[in-house]
Structure 1
């Protein structure tokens, strides 16, 4: 099933229904897995956290349970209402058009940039609200892992597992290009395996190979970025 990305003016409505379309049994375990990896990469760093593009707030749930001071922002008013119903602070935000007030010690932007028209501009905007000693945490997909390539070769899909809401096709190499900037540097990174998180032992055994060859075996990559 395909969903064409709407023009900028219609995107709030689009993302209201986007979250209703996501299969919970697939999206939720991946979101929790991603949050757990980020938590370990943060190595105890705490403070005010903003999740820019928070969706249903699964990362907010995870970090709030670990005593982080969390706030969620999303272009979808429905998503923000859900976040607020869970007891989190939330506000509606169009990352491409609107500015963000305040400063945060940790800013999350997870699986969002590929759905934006100008991810470079949004990255700069997010860094404006990162505290001087803070971190921007970015998660980006690998659209060309081995399963995606096989799907293309077999004619199952012209773009593998490519989600039609994605405006950019990212890969580990492209991710590093996006995050290359004179004003900030990648402090650490972790690649997430294509193995489903429910297969914990296999996923753990697969992890070293994923870090070695992320272009083939990573589903997505997480980057902790700090100011120089």
Structure 2
């Protein structure tokens, strides 16, 4: 969805992802860009490894003091030992992959038995996209729901199905519903509550916390 500044609004995507991460000791930040989320997790006490397929972004993360590596998870195994991470974080990553379930299956062995996958994707059935489609428009942009680098679109159902196909059990879901003029406060909370009540229509992003499935 394009790189965006770190959000401090309690209902912003970054804060919702951090909430789902909990208080991990070890984190693999997949597609972590320059490490803005990883740095916050490190500030909270986690040992964080950032991976991304963009060498420039990885260089930025390294310059910021992060343990960062250029890795293409569609073809390469990330650094780390089996079960070595309390959290594997995939914030707005899966939509950029041709086979996201296969990528999750590659990541699954790295998650501790009681660890968690935390993931988010844009909502491909958001009301704004539905209206655009009804109007005969489907125009890709540099960022947002129709980011031109997206290879996959997800509804809530297909997002959760992909996580299950990747070898995980979904235990909690969340949404974002960003409205710039409502940042913070009761109105922002009300917008978030509405999106949770009607996630397929109102959510801007779908988020999930999942555990490794027991075979």
Distance in 2 (alpha carbons) for counterparts of 1:188 and 1:164: 29
- In the alignment, which residue of structure 2 is the partner of 1:56? 34
- Paired residues of 2:195 and 2:203 also in contact (CA < 8 A): yes
Normalised TM-score (structure 2): 0.85
Aligned residue pairs total: 204
Distance in 1 (alpha carbons) for counterparts of 2:99 and 2:74: 7
Distance in 2 (alpha carbons) for counterparts of 1:110 and 1:117: 16
Q: Does 1:66 align with 2:44?
A: yes
Q: Does 1:176 align with 2:195?
A: no
- In the alignment, which residue of structure 2 is the partner of 1:85? 63
- Per-residue CA deviations over 1:46-101 (Å, capped at 9, x if unaligned) read 21111011112121122122222111000011111000111111011011000123
Distance in 1 (alpha carbons) for counterparts of 2:181 and 2:5: 10
Higher relative contact order (Cα pairs below 8 Å, separated by 6+ residues): 2
- Paired residues of 1:29 and 1:197 also in contact (CA < 8 A): no
- In the alignment, which residue of structure 1 is the partner of 2:146? 162
1:14-163 alignment runs, 5 A limit: 22=2, 27-29=4-6, 33-43=12-22, 45-102=23-80, 103-157=84-138, 161-163=145-147
Query: 1:42 deviation in Å?
Result: 3.6
- In the alignment, which residue of structure 1 is the partner of 2:173? 189
Moved more, 157-166 or 137-146: 157-166
| C-alpha spacing 1:185/1:152, structure 2 compared with 1 (3 Å) | same
- Paired residues of 1:114 and 1:170 also in contact (CA < 8 A): yes
- Paired residues of 1:49 and 1:105 also in contact (CA < 8 A): yes
Structure 1 or 2: more helix by fraction: 1
Distance in 2 (alpha carbons) for counterparts of 1:182 and 1:49: 19
Query: 1:198 deviation in Å?
Result: 6.1
Unaligned runs of at least 5 residues, structure 1: 1-17
Query: 1:183 deviation in Å?
Result: 4.3
Distance in 2 (alpha carbons) for counterparts of 1:182 and 1:57: 25
Q: RMSD of aligned C-alpha atoms?
A: 2.4
Distance in 2 (alpha carbons) for counterparts of 1:138 and 1:192: 13
